[in-house]
């Protein structure tokens, strides 16, 4: 179906149909492809819809970005949840929530952005999750008000971008934008984010209180080995680059501003990493003109962004689904695994990256004393790592079998991306 739609799009484009006709055709073809994708169980169809629309109407990505107030969220971890939080904050501040358009399903390449914004092309506000490699284009074409820079971490080791190269591209894009560039809300704990963000016309620094440092050994400015003190603060002994004093910081479930104002978060999404995400969303919302109590009221309505932390039903079993895509994400997500047993599902499809050596960087030792069920296509690889971590486990490769239980109450399931999507589909969880 996708191939036939793509051939149709190419034919329409090659025949030179004028733009006034191309656009409605692009909508018709894109929407038909999205429906076909959903009916066939292949996903939301957002990416194929956007891809076909861009084939028929090539300039639509740039055109949709013009004339909007735009907030952009990017980084390796936390994009989708932070996007939902900021969107909820903005929607709580406007008379009509439909005035805020977003790519809620996490489709964050150009195709996904086009698909999302085409649903409400005249919406005055767009809150967009954007893949790291697309950020420079959005800065250049969309002139966003705010850019949230969360973190840079190794991801999809066999095929994905090298994080230092990404940092250089972001910094170059911010330098090129100059005074027309966005206000950057930056994770002060990440050295590469810090170095990239310092090129922006204005930076709001956030201490996200996360503990992952394995991707930040060398100074991105001069290459010197970074120093970390006992409190986790970092500094480069070879150049002026160092951790900035935060304008917002997370402490004990509250966000504290530089002037001492404290805001209880009371989120429905768990984990200290989501408290850090919320601090960034709050800072961005304030920069976009939203009063803190209104922003927080909206953020507290977010429950299961694109299926994350949703409860799926699998026969007699109820399972809370948690997604982690790389070592940094797994390190934080293991901290919210509350059940015994806990189920870990690992796949190595294209969307995950076929190289699963990252599992040796995850501290599975944190699960000692609890029983683990290893499932998914790479369950035996995970079992080997768990053996070295001295974690009691059993291997049930078939995920449906692994979820049969019986379990007392809801069981926590932590999985990679492809396994997560299948679990959502199996458990009746909507990705929205």
Output phi, psi for 114, to 5 deg.
-60, -45
Is residue 381 part of the annotated active site? The answer reads: no
Question: How far apart are alpha carbons 267 and 293 in whole angstroms?
Answer: 13
Helix (H) or strand (E) holding 421: helix 417-427
Q: Write out the DSSP string of 39-75.
A: HTTS---HHHHHHHHHHHSTTHHHHHHTTSEEEEEES
Contact 188, 205 (CB under 8 A): yes
SS3 label, residue 314: strand
Question: From residue 64, how far is each of 122, 142, 300 by CA, in Å?
Answer: 9, 8, 29
- Closest residue by Cα to residue 125 from 288, 286, 283: 288
Question: From residue 421, how far is each of 44, 217, 323, 352, 362 by CA, in Å?
Answer: 11, 33, 9, 11, 22
**Where is the binding site, in residues?**
219, 222, 236, 239
End-to-end CA distance of the chain: 24
Structure tokens at 20: 């006034």
Contact 390, 302 (CB under 8 A): no
Cis peptide before 119 (omega within 30 of 0): no
Neighbours of 159 (CB within 10 A): 10
**Where is the binding site for Zn(2+), in residues?**
219, 222, 236, 239
Residue of 158, 266, 316, 355 marked active site? 355
CA atoms within 13 A on the CB side of 411: 25
184-214 burial, b for 16+ CB within 10 Å, e for fewer? bbbbbbbbbbbbbbbbbeebbbbbbbbebee
Please give the positions annotated as active site: 355
């Amino acid at each position: 179906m996708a191939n036939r739609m793509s051939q149709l799009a190419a034919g329409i484009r090659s025949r030179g149909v004028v733009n006034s006709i191309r656009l409605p055709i692009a909508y018709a073809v894109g929407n038909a492809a999205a429906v076909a994708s959903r009916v066939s169980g292949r996903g939301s169809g957002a990416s194929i819809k956007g891809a076909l629309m861009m084939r028929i109407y090539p300039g639509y990505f740039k055109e949709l970005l013009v004339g909007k107030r735009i907030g952009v969220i990017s980084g390796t971890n936390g994009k989708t949840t932070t996007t939902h939080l900021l969107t909820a904050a903005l929607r709580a501040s406007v008379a009509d929530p439909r005035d805020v358009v977003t790519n809620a399903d996490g489709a964050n390449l150009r195709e996904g952005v086009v698909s999302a914004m085409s649903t409400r092309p005249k919406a005055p506000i767009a809150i967009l999750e954007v893949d790291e490699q697309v950020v420079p284009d959005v800065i250049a074409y969309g002139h966003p008000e705010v850019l949230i820079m969360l973190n840079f971490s190794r991801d999809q080791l066999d095929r994905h971008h090298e994080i230092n190269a990404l940092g250089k591209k972001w910094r170059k894009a911010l330098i090129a934008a100059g005074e027309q560039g966005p206000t950057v809300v930056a994770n002060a704990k990440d050295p590469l984010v810090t170095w990239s963000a310092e090129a922006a016309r204005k930076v709001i620094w956030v201490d996200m209180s996360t503990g992952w440092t394995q991707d930040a050994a060398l100074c991105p400015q001069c290459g010197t080995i970074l120093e970390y003190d006992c409190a986790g603060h970092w500094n480069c002994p070879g150049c002026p680059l160092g951790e900035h004093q935060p304008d917002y910081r997370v402490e004990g479930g509250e966000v504290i501003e530089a002037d001492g104002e404290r805001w209880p978060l009371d989120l429905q999404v768990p984990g200290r990493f989501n408290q850090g995400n919320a601090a960034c969303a709050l800072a961005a919302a304030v920069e976009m003109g939203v009063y803190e109590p209104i922003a927080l009221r909206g953020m507290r309505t977010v429950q299961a962004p694109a299926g994350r932390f949703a409860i799926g039903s699998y026969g007699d079993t109820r399972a809370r689904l948690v997604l982690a895509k790389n070592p940094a994400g797994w390190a934080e997500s293991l901290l919210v695994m509350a059940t015994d047993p806990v189920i870990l599902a690992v796949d190595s499809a294209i969307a995950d990256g076929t190289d699963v050596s990252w599992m040796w960087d995850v501290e599975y030792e944190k699960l000692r004393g609890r029983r683990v069920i290893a499932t998914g296509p790479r369950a035996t690889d995970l079992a080997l790592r768990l053996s070295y971590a001295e974690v009691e486990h059993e291997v049930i490769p078939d995920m449906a079998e692994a979820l049969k239980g019986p379990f007392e109450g809801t069981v926590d399931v932590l999985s990679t991306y492809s396994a997560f999507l299948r679990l959502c589909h199996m458990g009746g969880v909507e990705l929205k």
